[in-house]
Amino acid sequence: MIGEVSSVTSQVATTNSSTSKLNMDKDAFLKIFLAQLQYQDPLNPANGTEFIAELAQFGMLEQLANLADALNQLLQFEQKAQAASLIGKTVKIAGNGNSLVEGLVSAVRWSGGRVTLVVNDQEYDPAAVIEVK
């Protein structure tokens, strides 16, 4: 029975990967793991080592997800710190089209995970800064 679940899973993965990238999260992993437990043949149970390996994989998946979250938070903090370090400095910013805006960074705003610099009472993306004086 485990072979049947595995073959169905591989068929779904093959189908989904051709249309879009398969995103396997821990909930999907647990569903597959529980399906394997539920449909195994009681007269021919799966090897305990296989289940331990799958649980280890689940633990690794969860730790990777936690690491990705921590790295994302660190990146957001770094972006805020870099933007805040520009307060009081004169910057040149690539504006709309070919225009350049030059002015003093008077503030930094954070809204919904987005960081903007306030220059000449206008908000600009820090990625548009081309020169700092």
Q: Please provide residue 92's backbone torsions phi and psi, each rounded to the nearest 5 degrees.
A: -110, 135
CB contact at 8 A, 95 and 109: no
Write the Ramachandran bin of 33: left for phi over 0, alpha for psi from -120 to 50, otherwise beta. Answer: alpha
Is the domain of 71 the same as that of 103? no
Residues 45 and 92 in one domain: no
- 44 and 103 share one domain: no
| 111 and 48 inside one domain | no
Among residues of the chain, what percentage have pLDDT more than 70?
77
pLDDT tens string 89-133 = 999 998 777 788 899 999 999 888 788 999 999 898 888 899 898
Sign of CA dihedral 76, 78, 82, 84: positive
Q: What residues form DSSP beta bridges with 108?
A: 117
| β strands within 31-113, DSSP E | 90-94, 100-111
Find the CATH number of the domain harbouring 99: 2.30.30.30
Q: Which residues contact 130 (CB under 8 A, 6 or more apart)?
A: 92, 93, 94, 100
pTM of the entire predicted model: 0.52
Which residue range is the domain that position 98 belongs to? 85-132
Q: Are 96 and 65 in the same domain?
A: no
pLDDT digits (tens, 9 = 90+) for 37-86: 787 777 776 666 777 787 788 788 888 988 999 999 999 889 889 889 99
Which phi and psi (to 5°) does residue 122 adopt? -125, 150
In this structure, are residues 26 and 64 in contact, taking their beta carbons and an 8 Å threshold? no
